Amino acid sequence: MNRSDFPLLGKYPGLIYLDSACTSLKPEQVIEAEASYYRKLGGCAGRSSHSLGRKTNEKLEQSRERIAGFVNAEPEGMVWTRNTTEALNLLAGSFDFSERKKVVTTVMEHHAVLLPFMRLRDRGVIELEVLGCDEEGRIVSEKWEQSVDKDTALVVTNSGNNTTGHRQDVAALSRLAHDNGALICVDGAQGVAHHRTDFRKEGCDFLCFSAHKMLGPTGIGAFAAKKDLLEKMQPFIVGGGIVKTLNLENADYMQGHSRFEAGIQDYAGIIGFAAACDYLDSLGMENVEEHERKLARELVEQLRNAGAEIYGGFSESSAALCSFNFKNGKPHDVALMLDKQGVALRSGFFCAQPAMEAMGAKQGAVRASGYVYNSVEEIKKFGEKLEHISALYQ
């Protein structure tokens, strides 16, 4: 893992960046790829017939194939979105609930999962069942098996949790959903960045993820769907570029991803997104996973040595992410003290208030999350700072 690829770490050489679950740092290769659109292309894809427009369109379709390939999804079923949140809203707003109305999800989801489907529930469109968790934030398989039935239209859950770092067995949940005639949507915001994701092998019907969590630009994400399912969905946002013909009585919408990509897209961000996939593949996702396991073990050890309460426990499949508190300490105070000592992390509920409260963190927590540019030595330094802070609350 080459830290010199990340300009921000060069600008702030003493920084210990442990906020990657919020957003990752960007390597020079991604920054340059994003800038290349403005420097070398600059055209309007899918619209302008001049050479710059054609070159831009070609580059974007290459990027679509690259990003789809990274998760082994169909390029024809991949829709550009601003982020995972928009992708989840696209699904909620476009899915046909006329035959089945039940949606099953869990208390451990991000607000981006809960809010779109809570709104549909409140409007009387769906019936929403939210599964509870155990004290470590895990959803036992029996709860899934009891809840997913022949009335279920959709199962929605994460592949990596943003409060505990736990991974879900997506393949098993896909089988359960499909055995009952239901579909599954995976929130991959915290999964795709940290372990190899295989859309087809894991049996996904829909997958939502963001570039900025995986070394890519902000403001660009993807909604990956099976092409035949995408064809059955109605456009979520309408506007230019999604119709074949239009008169004042009728709109003839395009097929595939094009009908969901109204307006000019983030061309530079898409190119940067593909470059992030290239960068992660150059590292090897198996190496990323192994590196994070080392970080996770050290992170848990340092937190325990400092007397912190860790939410969610730890397993060998966990990402390098821990939410924690000190007894009598306020999360925001702890985060600010660490910031003054050169450690960047997050405090609060992490856009997952029901999850944190379900694990007993009624006032929120502090979250440390590492990634490919962090080292075990950094985590040890972080631990030294934690011990000094812990002493204040004894």
Catalytic residues: 351
Pairing of strands 206-210, 365-369: unpaired
Q: How many CB atoms lie within 10 A of CB 170?
A: 24
Residue 390 CA to residue 394 CA, distance in Å, equals 7
On the 0-12 / 13-18 / 19+ scale of CB atoms within 10 A, 97 is middle
Q: How many CB atoms lie within 10 A of CB 243?
A: 17
Nearest to 186 by CA among 220, 137, 225, 149: 225
Residues 6+ apart with CB under 8 A from 30: 215, 216, 217, 272, 275, 276, 279
Buried b (16+ CB within 10 A) or exposed e, 251-277: eeeeebbbbbbbeebbbbbbbbbbbbb
Nearest to 74 by CA among 190, 219, 230: 230
Helices and strands (H, E) in the chain, number of each type: 13, 15
Buried b (16+ CB within 10 A) or exposed e, 203-225: bbbbbbbbbbbbbbbbebbbbbb
DSSP H or E stretch at residue 120: helix 111-122
Residue 40 CA to residue 135 CA, distance in Å, equals 53
Q: Report the interhelical angle of 376-391 vs 285-305 (nearest 10°).
A: 20
Q: Which two tokens stand for residue 75?
A: 């390029």
Residue 254 CA to residue 56 CA, distance in Å, equals 20
Q: Phi, psi at residue 167, to the nearest 5°?
A: -105, 145
Q: Which residue in the block uniquely carries the two structure tokens 């450690």?
A: 343
* CA quadruple 327, 331, 337, 339: dihedral sign: positive
Q: Report the interhelical angle of 285-305 vs 267-283 (nearest 10°).
A: 80
